[in-house]
């Protein structure tokens, strides 16, 4: 299996399908690159090179004790991009991955990046504060950390309901989809899973968003129970100079079912424009 080795010795697993203009996918917490398989096949079938990595601590990558923070995640992504010498690159990030690609593009991307797509992304900042009253209270993230430290198998099973919106009337998301979320979650190292909560909830991406100059598509479901749209995409679109906001009525956080079908169509339209 292909890996690259970072400056601190972490091994980052990646998948590389197809050929053509590169499209690099960054996954959400607590998932791994497999979360993007449908989209990877979609873009590869349409003449693009699809790449997805497992963030450090997640999936098949090294379970490091240190470096489970957004700056290091972005540096790891830079190491992957440079190792593969990717140019004219389109970045796609979901949830935590949306933050990762934004920070990478702003701080490391230079002239390599041609466009960015985020879905249910965590920027500008998730945690509630006086400056961000629409955010999620810190106590909610403390609850996630407690769930990870406690019975994390049961916690991931329960979390999948809000993640995919199966707790909403009319949901068509299968138990199998929820089981896949649990399976990927159980592959995360405990230290990485715990530390990543702070990384995705307390990192402020405001200056990163303002630094972006390439076209950006901000996709978000308006019934996202994990990353509420009011503190995320609705604010990000005001900060990014060249951004388009696409709101999916009734869509949850997890990219599945009707939301996935609509998002994939918009993703393909964006990268082929």
CATH (domain of 248): 3.40.50.1820
Q: Is 208 designated active site?
A: no
DSSP3 helix / strand / coil % (the chain, rounded to 5): 45, 20, 40
**CA 188/CA 243 separation, integer angstroms:** 32
CA dihedral 222, 225, 228, 233 (to 10 degrees): -50
Catalytic residue among 27, 195, 224, 236: 224
**CA 19/CA 207 separation, integer angstroms:** 33
Domain that holds residue 222: 3-272
- Per-residue pLDDT of 1-41, as tens digits, reads 699 999 999 999 999 999 999 999 999 999 999 999 999 99
**CA 87/CA 228 separation, integer angstroms:** 33
| Confidence check: pLDDT of 173 > 80 | yes
What is the percent of the chain with per-residue pLDDT over 70, rounded to a whole number?
100
Catalytic residue among 62, 95, 160, 236: 95
Q: Is 95 designated active site?
A: yes
Mean pLDDT for 205-232 is 98
0.95 exceeded by the pTM? yes
What Å distances lie between residue 71 and 134, 196, 241, CA to CA?
25, 12, 23
Mean pLDDT for 245-250 is 98
**CA 184/CA 29 separation, integer angstroms:** 9
Q: Is the CB of residue 104 less than 8 Å from the CB of residue 91? A: yes
Report the length, in residues, of the chain: 273
Number of folded domains in the chain? 1
138 three-state secondary structure: helix
| Confidence check: pLDDT of 210 > 70 | yes
Partner residues linked to 14 by β-bridges = 53
Q: Is 253 designated active site?
A: yes
pLDDT of residue 166: 98
Quote the distance between the C-alpha of residue 65 and its chain's center: 21
């Amino acid at each position: 299996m292909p890996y690259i080795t970072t400056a601190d010795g972490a091994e980052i697993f990646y998948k590389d399908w197809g050929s053509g203009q590169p499209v690099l996918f960054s996954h959400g917490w607590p998932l791994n690159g497999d979360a993007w398989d449908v989209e990877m096949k979609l873009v590869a079938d349409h003449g693009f090179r699809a790449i997805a990595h497992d963030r450090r601590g997640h999936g098949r990558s090294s379970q490091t004790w240190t470096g489970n923070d957004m700056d290091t995640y972005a540096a790891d992504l830079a190491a992957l991009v440079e190792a593969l010498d990717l140019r004219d690159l389109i970045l796609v990030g979901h949830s935590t991955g949306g933050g990762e690609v934004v920070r990478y593009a702003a701080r490391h991307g230079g002239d390599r990046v041609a466009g960015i797509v985020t879905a249910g992304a965590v920027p500008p900042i998730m945690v509630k504060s006086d400056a961000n009253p629409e955010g999620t209270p810190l106590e909610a993230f403390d609850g996630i950390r407690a769930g990870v430290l406690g019975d994390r198998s049961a916690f991931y099973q329960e979390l999948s309901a809000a993640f995919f919106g199966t707790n909403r009337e009319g949901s068509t998301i299968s138990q199998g989809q929820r089981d896949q979320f649990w399976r990927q979650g159980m592959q995360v190292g405990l230290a990485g899973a715990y530390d990543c909560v702070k990384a995705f909830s307390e990192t402020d991406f405001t200056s990163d968003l303002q630094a972006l100059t390439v076209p950006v598509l901000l996709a978000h479901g308006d019934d996202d129970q994990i990353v509420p749209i009011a503190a995320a995409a609705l604010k990000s679109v005001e900060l990014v100079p060249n951004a388009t906001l696409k709101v999916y009525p009734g869509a949850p956080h997890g990219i599945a079912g009707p939301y996935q079908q609509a998002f994939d169509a918009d993703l393909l339209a964006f990268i082929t424009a």
